[in-house]
């Protein structure tokens, strides 16, 4: 083990440091492996295995962090919505998150969920609970799970269309306006009952 690796390992929270390094590599578009993450973190090649069994476990932890970051964005400076317009702002935030952090977004949603990872399952459940509560606040007489799924499908689809270049916005404001108006058009047109 090099002097740098020895010094790096004793910096405090190795798991958090490994995740931060992997997140940075992911978002810069750099391919990463446990070995590459260890090298960039300045620890021995075996140190990551104390926290992650393999690359898939590291990716699952990154996805869980992404879900927590998404939840933080969705709840930042807002109460649960009471109108369709306020509900649409959650959709706008979702699309903006995807476009601001595309590599993480693709990692979060680009493969099957790791239902063996309690951290990821819990993070996903918290996002789903927020969306169901938000929909229930606006449509109290409807099934919040079905409506939340429909809203999620709408904004997730828009996010993917923007990421894949199928929808084009000249600015983030244009993207937000399009996401907002599409969401409102669908949910405001929803018949009662």
How far is 95 from 183, CA to CA, in rounded Å? Answer: 11
Rounded alpha-carbon distances, angstroms, from residue 178 to 48, 133, 185:
42, 24, 10
Phi first, then psi: give them for residue 66, nearest 5 degrees: -60, -40
Q: Which residue has the higher pLDDT, 191 or 71?
A: 71
Same domain as 69, residue 18: no
Give pLDDT, residue 150: 93
Of the chain, the percentage scoring pLDDT greater than 70 comes to 92
Q: How far apart are CA 22 and CA 31, in angstroms?
A: 9
CA 38 to chain centroid, in Å, comes to: 24
- Dihedral sign from CA coordinates of 113, 116, 118, 122: positive
- Please give the structure tokens belonging to residue 79: 């109460």
Mean pLDDT of 72-97: 96
- Average pLDDT estimate for 165-184: 95
Residue 41 lies in a domain: yes
pLDDT band at 11 (very low <50, low <70, confident <90, very high): low
| More confident position, 111 or 151 | 151
Q: pLDDT band for position 2 (50/70/90)?
A: very low
For the chain, give the percent of residues with pLDDT over 90: 81
Considering the domain architecture, whether residues 82 and 158 belong to the same structural domain is answered as yes
Q: Is residue 193 part of a domain?
A: no
For the residues 118-133, what does the mean pLDDT come to? 93
Residue 172's CATH number: 1.10.357.10
Q: What is the pLDDT of residue 4?
A: 43
Task: Using pLDDT thresholds of 50, 70 and 90, give the confidence band for residue 115.
Answer: confident
Residues 69 and 85 in one domain: yes
Domain that holds residue 88: 55-188
Residues 23 and 63 in one domain: no
User: How high is the pLDDT of residue 8?
Assistant: 43
| pLDDT recorded at residue 48 | 94
Does one domain contain both 41 and 65?
A: no
pLDDT of the residue at 176 = 96
> Is residue 115 within 8 Å of 123, Cβ to Cβ?
no
pLDDT at 57 (0 to 100): 92
Question: Contact at 8 Å (CB) between 102 and 116?
Answer: no
pLDDT of residue 5: 43
- Identify whether 104 is part of a domain: yes
Question: In the predicted model, what is the mean pLDDT of the chain?
Answer: 90
Q: What is the pLDDT of residues 14-40, one digit of tens each?
A: 999 999 999 999 999 998 899 999 999
Angle of CA points 25, 68, 72, to nearest 5° = 110
- For the chain, the domain total comes to 2
């Amino acid at each position: 083990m090099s002097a740098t690796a020895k010094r790096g390992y004793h910096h405090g929270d190795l798991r958090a440091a490994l995740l931060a390094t992997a997140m940075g590599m992911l978002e810069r578009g750099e391919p990463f492996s446990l070995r590459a993450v260890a090298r960039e973190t300045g620890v021995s090649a075996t140190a990551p295995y104390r926290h992650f069994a393999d690359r898939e476990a590291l990716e699952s932890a990154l996805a869980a962090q992404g879900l927590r970051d998404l939840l933080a964005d969705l709840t930042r400076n807002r109460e649960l919505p009471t109108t369709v317009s306020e509900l649409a702002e959650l959709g706008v935030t979702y699309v903006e998150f995807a476009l601001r952090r595309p590599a993480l977004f693709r990692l979060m949603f680009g493969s099957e969920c790791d239902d063996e990872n309690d951290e990821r399952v819990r993070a996903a459940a918290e996002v789903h609970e927020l969306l169901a509560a938000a929909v229930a606040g606006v449509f109290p007489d409807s099934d919040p799970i079905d409506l939340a799924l429909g809203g999620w499908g709408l904004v997730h689809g828009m996010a993917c269309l923007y990421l894949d270049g199928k929808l084009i916005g000249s600015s983030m404001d244009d993207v937000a306006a399009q996401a907002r108006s599409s969401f409102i058009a669908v949910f405001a047109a929803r018949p009662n009952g």
